[in-house]
Chain A
Amino acid sequence: EAQVTQNPRYLITVTGKKLTVTCSQNMNHEYMSWYRQDPGLGLRQIYYSMNVEVTDKGDVPEGYKVSRKEKRNFPLILESPSPNQTSLYFCASRAPSGRVTDTQYFGPGTRLTVL
């Protein structure tokens, strides 16, 4: 089954404790992206990657890191989480052709709470 998976689905942590949210896709997609969803703000793009070893900042990259060492994986790293990073996070991927009109598939989301 073609899908984007994220782990963990739920995470409660404390300020300053480094964490990683994993994202994996089995569709051989070149493009992958991370978003955060907050009430009243919709989805805001954190980072995206057009291919392996190619990453770039989205609209809200502060406090986040990403890496793209393999095509299928795109982990999101919070080196020192803060309460304002409490949010619902989505990973997404898009077809290998790279056309903007190709469907972007979203994972199920990771709900992060930083105390």
Chain B
Amino acid sequence: DAGVIQSPRHEVTEMGQEVTLRCKPISGHDYLFWYRQTMMRGLELLIYFNNNVPIDDSGMPEDRFSAKMPNASFSTLKIQPSEPRDSAVYFCASSRLAHSTDTQYFGPGTRLTVL
């Protein structure tokens, strides 16, 4: 099993540009999560999906952020327009179930730098 795959691993862009982060969950996992990690705020949940449907997006910081899951094997997190304060490491995670006895498996993350 390849685990959760994220791309790109590093992204450097200029303020105002559109940024798209990609995630491929583990095959057979019905839940997909997007997290953001910064020094100031730590690791925080942005949004999660169940069977490709967004369930809770209360962690999405503002309208500049959007996430989609067009099929069970692919999700995107888009920032448009990007700002320097969006600089962070973005993690994608997946799990088989929502049950509290199930675990989330994290990808390696995308380090985003907005200049």
Tell me if chain B binds chain A.
no
